[in-house]
Amino acid sequence: MFKRLILLIALSVLVAAPLQAQHEDGDGRLYWWNDRVFYEIFVRSFYDSDSDGVGDLRGVIEKLDYLNDGDPNTTTDLGITGIWLMPINESVSYHGYDVTNYNQIEQDYGNLDDMRDLIREAHARGIAVIIDLVINHTSEQHPWFIASAANDPAYDDWYIWADENPRFGGPNNETVWHPRGDRFYYGFFWSGMPDLNLQNPVVRDELYAISREWLTDIGVDGFRLDAVKHFVEEGENQENTPSTLAWMADYNDYIDSISADALTVGEVYDSDYLSSQYVPEQVDLVFDFDFAVAILTTVNQNRPDAMRSITTRVADLYPFGQYATFITNHDQERVMSELRGNIDEAKMAASLLLTAPGVPFIYYGEEIGMSGRKPDENIRTPFRWDESPGGGFTQSDNLWQPLSDDDMSVSVSAQTTVEDSLLSHYRILIHLRTQHSALARGTITVLEVEGSRNIYAFMRETADETILVVLNLDDEPVTDYVLTLPDMQVNMTELLFGEGDLITLADGSGVYTPFQTLPAYSTFLIQLRGN
The catalytic residues are 226, 267
Beta strands in 74-182 (DSSP E): 82-85, 89-91, 99-105, 128-133, 161-162, 177-180
Burial of 398 (0-12, 13-18, 19+ CB in 10 A): exposed
Residue 83 sits at φ, ψ, to 5 deg, of -130, 145
Contact 378, 372 (CB under 8 A): yes
What is the maximum alpha-carbon separation in the chain? 79
The 10 Å CB-count burial string (b at 16+, else e) for 459-498 is bbbbeebbbbbbbbbbeeebeebebebeebebeebebbbb
How far apart, in whole angstroms, are the C-alpha atoms of residue 319 and residue 205?
30
Query: CA-CA distance, 455 to 345, in Å (whole number)?
Result: 14
Angstrom distance (rounded) from CA 515 to CA 19: 40
Q: 497: which strand partners?
A: 525
Q: Which of 364, 302, 375, 301 is nearest to 335 (CA)?
A: 364
Core vs surface per residue 164-179: b (16+ CB within 10 A) or e: eeeeeebeeeeebbbe
C-alpha–C-alpha distance, residues 84 and 102, integer Å: 17
Cis link prior to 382 (omega < 30° from 0)?
no
Q: How far apart are CA 383 and CA 404, in angstroms?
A: 8
Q: Residue 412 and residue 368: Cα distance in Å, rounded? A: 7
Residue type at 15? Answer: V
Distance CA 158, CA 144 (A): 7
Q: Report CA-CA distances (Å) from 273 to 194, 270, 310, 416, 442.
A: 28, 8, 11, 40, 23
